[in-house]
Structure 1
């Protein structure tokens, strides 16, 4: 297996495996392989008919396909040879994969090589040429460093070339250029309704301008309720513990909204509609389809279609949504209408029992501002004005338009239509209606071919997780609901009626010849036009306002683009207390006299909470002078009321103890104590028993309490995993009711007196061990303390005592104070002779020994004044590795210059000198 060495030659490398079912293809034209496949099958499409596109690098013209390799399938080498025969195919070959993540890793025949800083540049060039390599460019961010190119066709020998060069005494680093797919929320090329795109060589420009709106918001902080048939909440696009909230089966009165039969005992083939609707509204966009509001939360509420239209369950669904925090309610259903090719005018009255439930949602939801309720206009090619709930004055009715910017042939019409949103269409010669350019809307389908797509590539993807032909006003409605979610994300204070009025102004006029818009700009076919998401978000953002003093309070508006958290206290270590947060454009009332500057130079203000009674704290200015609010608030340095120290937890009697999972919904087991989709190993049901390591329990930055538990059998090679035992609302998930231990005595002035710090082998920094999830500067992920000696906790030796009456005599010692790493215990200790005794528990002599191999050897405590502030005010610089006073704008001692920059430590982020 190829081996890659990212470190020096003394450091271990990592191996890559050869995939048995992946093929990478690069075209000379840099066009997608799919773009060369028209509506008529080609030989190339036949070779890849059963392949699934798993990764795409558009600018390079590179795509990776997974193909079946079972009995009866063509061998991989045969497929590659067949693909190479096509004139536009530059390369078709095998793929390496990461053995841990199983994700593809591409190599480019480029190599990065860095010679040592003191190497002769001419000798560097000579060595590169002697290896048969060509210099592509010399980098400017490091000395004697180059990107070089191997001859075309070198293939996997590039790994051997890099490994051989790394053996030279004058080479510091050398490795092939490896490309992995970047994880992000994406709008995919098939999703023509969200952006201008090209499908099968045809340009489609009939979108709702969603991609542009995503530059401002993706729907953060908003919940969309999709009332429909079952939703496949196990779909990867609905992954992440934050995504699905308050799920409900309104028919069976359970919390499981998945597709199922009438009795609830098994799945049913026909319940595909809800999954597709939910995907159009808010799919994450992490795997293959993005919703209009990918960062919005999803509240799936199942209604069984076997119960018919007008059932009490419909009313229950609206009440559930309003009572459980839904901001937007999307409903792609109504009374049965005509066949669109045989339209008939008929009227269907709405039962008051349901209308009253809708009124309840629009009056009581969102704290009285009202849920925004949307209904599809219907697919009968008939008037909607006398047709069920879509004609109700308190809902927003959405029609469908097609990929050519005209009406979809089936879409209902009428004065009740407020707007149109892109969807599918059909050609129909008797109506002189042309064929559409696309099959329809690309969105989520029930996984593993259980839905519309039975694993046919022409129906979506070969795995059967996505469909390319969803449509009707059923698709238009959740699309418009996603736009509403984007609006509420930037301005959660909008009432439902204000949203409706803004939507009228957020539409683009389409089909101006056939739309018959009246003097008010309304068309019975399109309402006020096709929704433009960017216009809607722009109009929804609050206008500039002048702060007004109200009974001791003043008003500010949040100007920080992505918004901020509202916390229980003035600092990032406090709990979040307002679930919606201080989103961009929102206004808050604050007490001017509460504004203070903390020890890091940040300004905080106490504000009135919106989600419930009480107050919280918002950051108004950071320590770089950047204001997050308007007006630009400033304030004196005031020390906030100290937070009482928690009561110490009892010491563990044994290393392991037993617990019982009591959470009614069960709980997830994670590879790391982080609420992230990538860490999820599996779910365990209520009453599952575990053995947990008592001294592993800790409380993270969000207030969640975690414990490390033994797995009865390994999962993904792990024998232990992490279980959340208490959430940040105080709910215990286990019996006994476990809480986080205290990492410092109640009366201690500093955690530095305790063994609570670990050394990160990646960034070389020391971080608070109660929070293993804090970010490492080198990797951008969690700190790695796997190589810490014996996994021991480090102790910052309490090296000095400040005598307030004799402060001046001690200051020279403080200014000269050097902290060093001990080679025995790997702890930080004060390295001057007149400090307290420097005992070392790991040394045979009992004394610390300085690690002289570290650059500069020491950590210098920076101090510029004859007074030690009482706050926790020292951090480690991530560049020069010295401790510095965060309230002072001191200079970094590394070659980069500039000011100090703290490492990725978190609560408590400071070293307190006591």
Structure 2
């Protein structure tokens, strides 16, 4: 059932789960939780799971003595009449909010009345509105926790009170699961300043992509991130579990370049392995560090294995990631990548775009993701003050050009110009290396998969976004860094910093539509 309420002045559209009620069990009855729940009705755990609520959340509610039931007719009638039910301390409706998180809505709200009212006047208004004071909150004027005595529930009261000009706000007090903030247990996570910069080694606290709050919402599950490079260590302990079966490689033969959908025999490259780790090194496996989107699927495509080849091969790789049927007769266009990143290209030199690669970029950008468009991230040239327009690939309109920042949120020796779109950590960052190892490295090559992995997080919470919509989100949520001397134009762009340093938390929130 569709429901509405107000939050921070915004009308929120939400969903009440039909035929499900949340019940707070009396402490005395908690020992016999199963029996008490059965007396109230049938378990609604399946319905809660179908609504997208994980078992960890459900179990957390149960530890707090909240259970989800499909109430019996007798229980439902008793709750509707406001009668006491044996073993039940409180009850509420289960509301799925726009973020996908559930909350239990009882009759409790938080409200604030106009600060010009005296306390006596404010409490008279509360009584007139059918609100019973539970607590007067003293950290702001005329702020109260109240119970709606006459409204259907807190959501209905929120809507009813919105047009009462004596109230500043009236918002439901949802009972919700608020777990501890996630921090990876991977042993070398602390070396990855790109994810959490505490200010060590001369860095600036917070000069990172703010990915930890984003991980509270998503790890990128369901996203397929394609990385095009010279080769990869696909058996690396921190990558192997995430490597897609669609991974493959190009090789030169007697009859030309062929594509093999396989990881056995794939060329190895320290560069590609490092890039793959930045995007999606695995999570919580007790090994190494972690990537930006550690539960994404890594579609690793090796081409130009000796760094010599044609743009035709590169174009084929780009088109394959967008639509596997371009190389595999049995390939399904629906199995293409959600995000593409490549860090191939010359440094401090012109790179001319040939028509064949241009067509591939246009194909991927327009027909990838079954017409929603494939976002293409590409590392810009390393080298101070290099004109980005000299590189016709990275400056192509369908490519998102990424440059690198250091641990002080300053740009570091990379191309500049109007086509720079984003900046991300790329100086002494920590990731996977070929041969099963780990280490640090510097380059725009590693800033690009960092940005791409963060974009995968944003897309994972709203897979329906088009390429252009995701691109706009990444622009608008980027942090304007560089210090007081750095000026961004009216469009929010700077030639060295693009639209700013990637902020994963803001990108995920904006993609998710979270108020």
User: Scaled by the length of structure 2, what TM-score is found?
Assistant: 0.57
Distance 1:275 1:326, change over 3 A: same
Question: Cα offset for 1:221?
Answer: 0.4
Task: Give the number of the structure whose residues are more often helix, by fraction.
Answer: 2
Maintained 8 Å contact 1:333/1:378? no
Task: Report Cα offsets for 1:822-871 as digits up to 9, x if no partner.
Answer: xxxxxxxxxxxxxxxxxxxxxxxxxxxxxxxxxxxxxxxxxxxxxxxxxx
Residue of structure 2 in register with 1:374 after alignment: 377
Q: Determine the C-alpha separation between the residues in 1 that align with 2:298 and 2:225.
A: 5
Residue of structure 2 in register with 1:279 after alignment: 277
Residue of structure 2 in register with 1:661 after alignment: none
Distance 1:526 1:249, change over 3 A: same
Residue of structure 1 in register with 2:197 after alignment: 196
Task: Report Cα offsets for 1:195-231 as digits up to 9, x if no partner.
Answer: 1236469775411101111011110100000000111
Q: Determine the C-alpha separation between the residues in 1 that align with 2:186 and 2:289.
A: 9
Query: What secondary structure sits across from 1:249 in the alignment?
Result: strand
Maintained 8 Å contact 2:373/2:467? yes
Q: Determine the C-alpha separation between the residues in 1 that align with 2:288 and 2:409.
A: 25
Residue of structure 1 in register with 2:419 after alignment: 416
Distance 1:183 1:389, change over 3 A: closer
Task: Report Cα offsets for 1:686-728 as digits up to 9, x if no partner.
Answer: xxxxxxxxxxxxxxxxxxxxxxxxxxxxxxxxxxxxxxxxxxx
Distance 1:186 1:373, change over 3 A: farther
Task: Report Cα offsets for 1:142-176 as digits up to 9, x if no partner.
Answer: xxxxxxxxxxxxxxxxxxxxxxxxxxxxxxxxxxx
Q: Determine the C-alpha separation between the residues in 2 that align with 1:361 and 1:218.
A: 25
Maintained 8 Å contact 1:348/1:387? yes
Residue of structure 2 in register with 1:319 after alignment: 319
Query: What secondary structure sits across from 2:341 in the alignment?
Result: strand
Residue of structure 2 in register with 1:207 after alignment: 208
Q: Determine the C-alpha separation between the residues in 2 that align with 1:418 and 1:299.
A: 24
Higher relative contact order (CA 8 A, sep 6+): 2
Alignment partner of 1:510 out of 466, 481, 504: 481
Residue of structure 2 in register with 1:444 after alignment: 432
- Give me the CA root mean square deviation: 2.4
Query: What secondary structure sits across from 1:508 in the alignment?
Result: coil
Residue of structure 2 in register with 1:392 after alignment: 396
Residue of structure 1 in register with 2:464 after alignment: 493
Residue of structure 2 in register with 1:230 after alignment: 231
Maintained 8 Å contact 1:189/1:198? no
Alignment partner of 1:466 out of 434, 438, 442: 438
Q: Give the unaligned 5+ runs of structure 2.
A: 1-182, 253-258, 325-335
Task: Report Cα offsets for 1:611-642 as digits up to 9, x if no partner.
Answer: xxxxxxxxxxxxxxxxxxxxxxxxxxxxxxxx
Query: What secondary structure sits across from 1:413 in the alignment?
Result: coil
Question: May I ask how many residue pairs the two structures share in their alignment?
Answer: 313
Task: Report Cα offsets for 1:766-821 as digits up to 9, x if no partner.
Answer: xxxxxxxxxxxxxxxxxxxxxxxxxxxxxxxxxxxxxxxxxxxxxxxxxxxxxxxx
Task: Report Cα offsets for 1:847-903 as digits up to 9, x if no partner.
Answer: xxxxxxxxxxxxxxxxxxxxxxxxxxxxxxxxxxxxxxxxxxxxxxxxxxxxxxxxx
Query: What secondary structure sits across from 1:389 in the alignment?
Result: coil
Maintained 8 Å contact 1:375/1:477? yes
Residues 750-829 of structure 1: pairs in structure 2 closer than 5 A: none
Residue of structure 1 in register with 2:347 after alignment: 337
Query: What secondary structure sits across from 1:475 in the alignment?
Result: helix
Distance 1:395 1:488, change over 3 A: same
Q: Determine the C-alpha separation between the residues in 1 that align with 2:300 and 2:264.
A: 9
Question: Cα offset for 1:326?
Answer: 0.5
Maintained 8 Å contact 1:329/1:373? yes
Distance 1:514 1:256, change over 3 A: farther
Distance 1:187 1:485, change over 3 A: farther
Maintained 8 Å contact 1:276/1:445? yes
Residue of structure 2 in register with 1:289 after alignment: 289
Maintained 8 Å contact 1:232/1:258? no
Question: Cα offset for 1:419?
Answer: 0.9
Task: Report Cα offsets for 1:8-55 as digits up to 9, x if no partner.
Answer: xxxxxxxxxxxxxxxxxxxxxxxxxxxxxxxxxxxxxxxxxxxxxxxx
Distance 1:366 1:317, change over 3 A: same
